[in-house]
């Protein structure tokens, strides 16, 4: 296509034209380029690539008869996309003067918003473009507002569980209380692995009905104080307090197996679901904050989802801390560390490590006592109890 596509750096809305006729592409560009950034595709596959790469596209004009991927199939691919921006994109079909009314009705039934006939009128093209870009922007603003309201609500509409916003607020309160008064907790994130394929095959309404059933099963197992919530499309969360990781794993394993055992039947199509679970036990000390705990729990969940999912992954900061303490406890105290601790007046650990320190000093002492004069000084020093470091050094130098 050479240099047909030269994107400017301004904030003009982006319009995509898909037509295998270079004459038509140039005609569209001349009319629209003053007010819009125009992307030109010479077939459906190239148009699809543009849609995947550029989420700033606000409207698509597509011819029906194109090589590689025609307008009908491009339209169907758009309407069945998992990407909400692509799936709701305004699509205007370019029809020829010989296209019958039946063709126009077909594209509308396939999900096209409108059609424009060749040869098209300049003012009509500008009017349609302005209208559909406004429609797209309004729809996206409405979706953002709706999402914000859902996030701020205390109860999830679909499942009746706590919302993500409320769960995070409740979790912060639990963590704050545990940090003040002691205790532990475990966060659990559970995600349904194959919900997207179910939604695509049977629709959002069926998927939501399935989520309600799953929510009830989880609620039957969880305690009320565990703050069960729906925190994503097919993601649930629990904050288990008190938090014993072994007990949390047993609960996770029970939930995992119970959900996997459910058999769903929809329109003679029987299927089961799989799920992945992440468990995270934080060390509630120092400057630990709720946001870090949410992030670490999500990491455990993503590790469980990796591959084919259908698994449980756990991680405990307490185990890490215990291992570090164990390694520190078994490491011998060095002479340098002992001298520094002595200088700070930290005598208890030095007293506990006297034999170890003596063994470390023994080669040096054995070398010193080969000198009769130094041996006498060492004996005198050992007999002088309570001498300061400066006094000891002065005695050695005499």
Taken in order of first residue, the domains within the chain and their CATH numbers are 14-148 (3.40.50.2300), 153-324 (3.30.70.270), 335-397 (no CATH)
The 10 Å Cβ neighbour count of residue 314 is: 20
At residue 366, the pLDDT reads 73
Strands across the sheet containing 91-95:
37-41, 14-18, 57-63, 91-95, 114-117
C-alpha torsion sign, points 178, 180, 181, 183: positive
Contact of 175 with 287, CB cutoff 8 Å: no
At residue 323, the pLDDT reads 53
Q: Which residues are paired to 116 by β-bridges?
A: 94
At residue 151, the pLDDT reads 57
Query: Structure pTM?
Result: 0.47
At residue 327, the pLDDT reads 46
20: phi then psi, degrees, rounded to nearest 5: -80, -5
Distance CA 166, CA 155 (A): 8
The contacts of residue 263 (CB under 8 Å, 6+ apart) are 270, 271, 272
At residue 179, the pLDDT reads 82
Q: Is 195 exposed, middle or buried (0-12, 13-18, 19+ CB in 10 A)?
A: buried
Question: Strand ranges (DSSP E) for the chain?
Answer: 14-18, 37-41, 57-63, 91-95, 114-117, 186-192, 229-232, 235-240, 263-266, 269-272, 275-281, 312-316
Residue the block writes with tokens 């005609």: 27
Please report, in tens digits, the pLDDT of each residue of the chain (398 residues total): 555 676 555 688 999 999 999 999 999 999 999 999 999 999 999 999 999 999 899 999 999 989 999 999 999 999 988 888 898 999 999 887 566 677 878 888 888 998 888 888 889 899 989 988 888 888 878 777 766 666 556 788 889 898 888 888 888 888 888 888 888 889 999 999 988 888 888 888 888 889 999 999 999 988 878 889 999 989 999 998 877 888 999 999 999 999 999 888 877 778 888 999 999 999 877 677 889 899 999 999 999 998 788 999 999 888 765 554 444 445 566 777 777 666 666 666 667 677 777 777 777 777 766 777 777 776 676 666 555 545 544 554 55
């Amino acid at each position: 296509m050479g240099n047909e596509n030269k994107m400017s750096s301004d904030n003009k809305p982006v319009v995509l034209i898909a037509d295998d006729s270079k004459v038509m592409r140039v005609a569209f560009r001349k009319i629209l380029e003053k007010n819009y950034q125009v992307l030109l595709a010479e077939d459906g596959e190239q148009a699809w690539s543009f849609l995947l790469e550029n989420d700033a596209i606000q409207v698509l004009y597509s011819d029906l008869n194109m090589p590689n991927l025609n307008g009908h199939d491009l339209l169907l691919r758009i309407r069945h996309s998992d990407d909400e921006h692509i799936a709701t994109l305004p699509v205007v079909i370019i029809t020829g003067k010989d296209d019958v009314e039946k063709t126009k009705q077909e594209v509308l039934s396939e999900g096209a918003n409108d059609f424009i006939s060749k040869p098209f009128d300049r003012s009509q093209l500008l009017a349609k473009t302005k209208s559909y870009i406004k429609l797209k922007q309004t729809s996206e603003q409405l979706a953002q507002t709706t999402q914000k309201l859902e996030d701020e609500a205390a109860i999830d509409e679909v499942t009746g569980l706590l919302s993500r916003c409320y769960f995070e607020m409740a979790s912060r309160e639990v963590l704050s209380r545990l940090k003040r008064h002691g205790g532990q907790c475990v966060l659990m994130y559970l995600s349904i692995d194959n919900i997207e394929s179910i939604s695509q095959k049977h629709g959002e309404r069926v998927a939501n009905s399935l989520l309600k059933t799953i929510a009830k099963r989880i609620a039957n197992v969880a305690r009320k104080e565990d703050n069960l919530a729906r925190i994503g499309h097919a993601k649930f969360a629990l904050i288990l307090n008190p938090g014993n990781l072994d007990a949390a794993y047993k609960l996770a394993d029970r939930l995992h197996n119970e959900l996997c055992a459910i058999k769903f039947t929809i329109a003679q199509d029987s299927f089961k679901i799989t799920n992945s679970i992440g468990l995270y036990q934080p060390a509630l000390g120092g400057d630990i904050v709720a946001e870090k705990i949410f992030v670490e729990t999500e990491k455990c969940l993503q590790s469980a989802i990796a591959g084919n999912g259908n698994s449980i992954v756990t991680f405990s900061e307490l185990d890490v801390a215990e291992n570090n303490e164990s390694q520190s406890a078994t490491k011998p105290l060095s002479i340098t560390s002992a001298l520094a601790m002595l200088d700070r007046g930290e005598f208890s650990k030095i007293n506990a490590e006297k034999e170890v320190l003596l063994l470390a000093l023994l080669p040096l002492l054995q070398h010193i006592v080969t000198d009769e004069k130094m041996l006498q000084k060492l004996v005198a020093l050992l007999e002088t109890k309570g001498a300061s470091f400066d006094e000891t050094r002065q005695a050695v130098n005499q």
